[in-house]
Amino acid sequence: MTDKRLVSGNYAAAFGALRAKAEFIAAFPITPQTFIVEHISEFINNGEMDAEFMRVESEHSAISACVSAEATGVRTFTATASQGLALMHEILAIPAPLRLPIVMPVVNRTVAAPIGIWAEYNDVMPQRDLGWMMMFVEDNQEVFDMIIQGYKIAEDKRVLLPFMPNLDAFILSHTYEPVEFPAQEEIDEFLPPYKAEHAHLWPDDPMAIGVFSPPEYIQEFRYQTEQAMENARKVIKEVNGEFARKFGRDYHGFVEEFMTDDAEAVLITLGTVTSTARKVVMDMRKEGKKVGLVKLRFFRPFPRDELRKIAEKAEAVGVYDKSISYSVGGPAFIEVRNALYGMEKPVIGYLAGLGGRDVRYDDVKLMFEKTLKAAKKGKADKEVVWIGTRGVEP
């Protein structure tokens, strides 16, 4: 029987770990993620969850502990944010080539300096080339659902890569929304126990792991990780379809389109701003303006083919970023522009919401209007546009 509750995004992530029957939890606090591991500690204390709960001395230790535990063949979970994710960077490069399907939600938060605790993607974007699958959620239901889907995708023997769902700090982590939690029996049918075929640390079948390797072998490791990421494309679609059939919620895999079929201008968004953008699209459509929206869910693997197919129908494409790659624009803009190479149509990057600043209705509408203008002219006035920035003309 489905259990419907009013919960925060942090609770939804923690309950996802519970329903997934994660067996090892590495816990270290950092705002605004702390409540995820605190909720899990309550589940374990109350006898609702059977798992090993390890309190560690840093985020670096948290991900290190997950690597070791996952290598024994158990399902692991941790969570972090911001500076904590940055501290993990050294170890984040390890799970993918060792094919360890750890699931770790990140509550996206500003990185210093200046010090801030609000939503920004400059914490996760520097980690995008370490072999983790990365995706962004829009609401708290999607938080829970993608913890469950994440394990099924990551543990598929065609993939075996770590999985990182991202949720906006406070906008989701501390905001309460209705979330449906399917019964444990239903989750068990969808997500069976993890049976590792490559666990390394069994005493009766010892295996060296993470050993020193000369150049003769490392390039092949990189290729294998790349192939696993490519394999994930098919698995993500399969898992999304199976989840939709069983639970009635279809996230459309890599991207979700909204009124794009005849759109002259399309805006690509990540995370919670997508909800605002939907409202803007509906209102602009009433004004007779042909605009459409693409919710970019997966960042790794990047949906290049899906985006090219959508862009073929449009005259111009805008890309919203909540982070910046200095001197070249936002990371999503860079990736989209690369995916659309050779299509010879305007691609415009919009930077807004950095440091957690509100991205309001009028801000999103301005992005659509500028993209429409580029569609009419066949070129953009600016390739990268700062929205809502003091002293900067958008």
Average pLDDT of adjacent 10-residue blocks, the chain of 394 residues: 93 98 98 98 98 98 97 96 98 96 98 95 97 98 98 98 98 98 98 86 80 92 97 98 98 98 97 98 98 98 98 97 97 98 96 97 98 96 96 92
What is the chain's mean pLDDT, rounded? 96
Residue 1 has what pLDDT? Answer: 75
Give the per-residue pLDDT at 20: 98
Q: What pLDDT score was predicted for residue 209? A: 82
The reply to whether 228 and 84 lie within a common domain is: yes
pLDDT in tens, 144-196: 999 999 999 999 999 999 999 999 999 999 999 999 999 999 999 999 999 99
Residue 379 sits in a domain whose CATH number is 3.40.50.920
β-partners of residue 319 are 268, 349
* Residue 391 maps to a domain: no
* pLDDT at site 207: 80
144 and 39 housed in the same domain: yes
Domain count, the chain: 2
Q: Are residues 225 and 280 in the same domain?
A: no
CA atoms of 236 and 254, how far apart (whole Å): 8
* Helices 140-154 and 9-19, packing angle to 10 deg: 30
* 261 in the same domain as 243: no
The answer to whether residue 309 sits within a structural domain is yes
Chosen domain end from 247, 273, 305? 247
Q: Give the model's pLDDT for residue 313.
A: 94
Q: What is the 3 state secondary structure string of the chain?
A: CCEEEEEEHHHHHHHHHHHCCCCEEEECCCCCCHHHHHHHHHHHHCCCCCCEEEECCCHHHHHHHHHHHHCCCCCEECCECHHHHHHHHHHHCCCCCCCCCCECCEEECCCCCCCCCCCCCCCCHHHCCCCCEEEECCCHHHHHHHHHHHHHHHCCCCCCCCEEEEEECCCCCCCEEEEEECCHHHHHHHCCCCCCCCCCCCCCCCCCCCCCCCHHHHHHHHHHHHHHHHHHHHHHHHHHHHHHHHHCCCCCCCEEEECCCCCCEEEEECCCHHHHHHHHHHHHHHCCCCEEEEEECEEECCCHHHHHHHHCCCCEEEEEECCCECCCECHHHHHHHHHCCCCCCCEEEEECCHHHCCCCHHHHHHHHHHHHHHHHHCCCCCCEEECCCCCCCC
Determine, yes or no, domain membership for 340: yes
Taking the C-alpha atoms of residue 247 and residue 225, their distance in angstroms, rounded to an integer, is 31
In this structure, the answer to whether residues 106 and 154 fall within a common structural domain is yes
Q: Is residue 37 part of a domain?
A: yes
Q: Show which of 228, 247, 266 is a domain's final residue.
A: 247
Percent of the chain predicted with pLDDT > 90? 95
Residue 392 lies in a domain: no
pLDDT in tens, 384-394: 999 999 999 99
Tell me: do 177 and 321 sit in the same domain: no
Predicted TM-score (pTM) of this structure: 0.96
Range of the domain at 48: 3-247
Please check whether residue 393 lies inside any domain of the structure.
no
For residue 118, the domain's CATH number is 3.40.50.970
Q: Is residue 295 in some structural domain?
A: yes
Residue 147 lies in a domain: yes
Q: Do residues 75 and 224 both lie within one domain? A: yes
Mark whether 215 and 282 lie in a shared domain. Answer: no
Residue at which a domain ends, from 187, 218, 247: 247
Cβ neighbours for 300, distance < 8 A, ≥ 6 positions apart: 128, 132, 133, 134, 229
pLDDT at 201: 73
